[in-house]
Amino acid sequence: MTKQSPPVYKLQEIMNASDAEIVAQCREGDTNAFAELVRRNQDSVFNLVWSMTGNWHEAADIAQETFIRAFRKLHSYKPEFSFRNWVMSIGANLTRNRFRSFSRRRRMQETLTRMQDADVAPAPGLPDEGLEAALGQMPETLRTALLLKHVEGQSYEEIARTLGIGLSAAKMRVARGRDELVHLLTTERERES
Amino acid sequence: MKQDYHKRFHERLDGETIPPDATDAEEEARLTAYRAELGRLENRRVRAPADLAARVMEAITPAPRPTFLEWLWTLVPTRRQWAIPALAGAVLMLALLPVLRQRSALSGPPRMLVHFQIHAPGAERVELVGDFNNWTAGTIQLQGPDASGHWTTDVELPEGRYEYQFLVNGTTWVTDPGAEIRRPDGFGRENAVRVVYEERS
């Protein structure tokens, strides 16, 4: 009886493979390989969606749906582009669509019950409270563009593609986002001292 | 002029241009301050929920298909005396399969009648609002109250997962007390969750 290779070798191969190689493997029917793509990119997708919605639970739902959609649309992924940017643009689209009904619901609830705006759910495990507070006060569009630039390291072209906006709009949002963030952090520091 | 300065300043932050005047101390100080604050942002690491990958994989992994022998075994009746009627039924189903497929294709996905009820004896009006009617009030009214104070309605829905709430007297949102699954709605309340699926034997 021949001894089979332990599964860890296969896992190692997947871990060393590029995103595009794993996509090719998934297309050949290896569904399990997709888990590695999720693990590699889940923080980026979740961070983007959370930034756009400001709601932790909603972001978890949308991030999950984003990867399910990505898996079903793998045939349309072009390996010359970054898989991460591709899946993040799916997440941004989904969030925008979900946000439309979310806003409708919010407007209706506000009218009928005079409820206050939803609080942004705190992100567990983030030590820089001052930074989180400042980000929470920023307009969503500026915050999201800023995170794509300075956390994800995307170029302005990639930001424009992810968010479905023009190049100049992407540059403007990042610049205004920087100004706003620095202003908020400086004001807070001056208030504390 | 101010706009040009602003643009050039952010281009410098991007490392795109060389400063024309490296001795501008004020601009240098401002750049240093910006880089320090943006450095805090660049160190920020948000972690996705720990079970995200598992949830995704559960959703995309197809259920294992039974082997041919396992499938064949399911066709064998457990009691011998049912063999002939069961076989006759199987032959009949095979004969009707094209017709059933055609009917199914024409009628779209199966829809189930889903029952909603709430105990609100003092209410004057109760509505059902949720994903299925785009959270629009005034489209689904519950009937009631009956003698025991219950308001009820039946809604035909395709398979899926739906979130909803009851709207009592047009002003008060009430989460279905009988719901087994609930999730925060982002406004400090909870939506009830109903999963609708066809029971396949």
Q: Pick the residue of B187, B189, B193 with the most A CBs within 10 A to test the interface with A by mutation.
A: B187
Tens digit of each residue's pLDDT (9 = 90 or more) over B97-116: 877 666 655 556 677 888 99
Query: Per residue of chain B (201 residues), what is the pLDDT tens digit?
Result: 567 778 888 888 888 766 666 567 888 888 888 999 899 888 888 888 888 888 898 888 766 666 777 777 766 665 556 667 777 888 888 888 877 666 655 556 677 888 999 998 888 999 998 888 878 777 889 998 888 889 999 888 888 888 899 999 888 888 998 888 888 877 778 889 888 877 654
Of A58, A146, A175, the CB nearest to B41: A146
CA pair distance B72, B68, nearest whole angstrom: 6
Over the range A55-81, which residues count as b (16 or more CB within 10 Å of their CB) and which as e?
A: bbebbbbbbbbbbbebbeebeebeeee
Give the number of A-B residue pairs with CB atoms closer than 8 Å.
122
Q: Where are the domains of chain A?
A: 1-119, 122-193
Give the DSSP letter of residue B171. T
Q: How close is the nearest chain A Cα to the Cα of B41, in Å?
A: 7
Q: How many helices (H) and strands (E) does chain A have?
A: 9, 0
Asked if B168 is an interface residue toward chain A (Cβ–Cβ < 8 A), one would say: no
Instruction: Identify which of A67, A62, A92, A63 has the alpha carbon closest to the alpha carbon of residue A77.
Output: A67
Asked if B64 is an interface residue toward chain A (Cβ–Cβ < 8 A), one would say: no
Structural domains of chain B sorted by starting position, each given as residue range(s) with its CATH number in brackets? 2-42 (no CATH), 111-196 (2.60.40.10)
* CATH code reported for the domain at A122-193: 1.10.10.10
Give the DSSP letter of residue A76. G
Find chain A residues with C-beta within 8 A of B13's C-beta: 178
Q: Pick the residue of A11, A103, A109 with the most B CBs within 10 A to test the interface with B by mutation.
A: A109
Per DSSP, the three-state class of B181 is: strand
Number of alpha carbons in the 13 Å side-chain half-sphere of residue A178 = 27
Tell me the DSSP string of A136-153: HHS-HHHHHHHHHHHTS-
What are B98's two structure tokens? 């094209």
The fold of the A1-119 domain, in CATH, is Rna Polymerase Sigma Factor; Chain: A (1.10.1740)
CA pair distance A46, A55, nearest whole angstrom: 11
CA pair distance B48, A62, nearest whole angstrom: 12
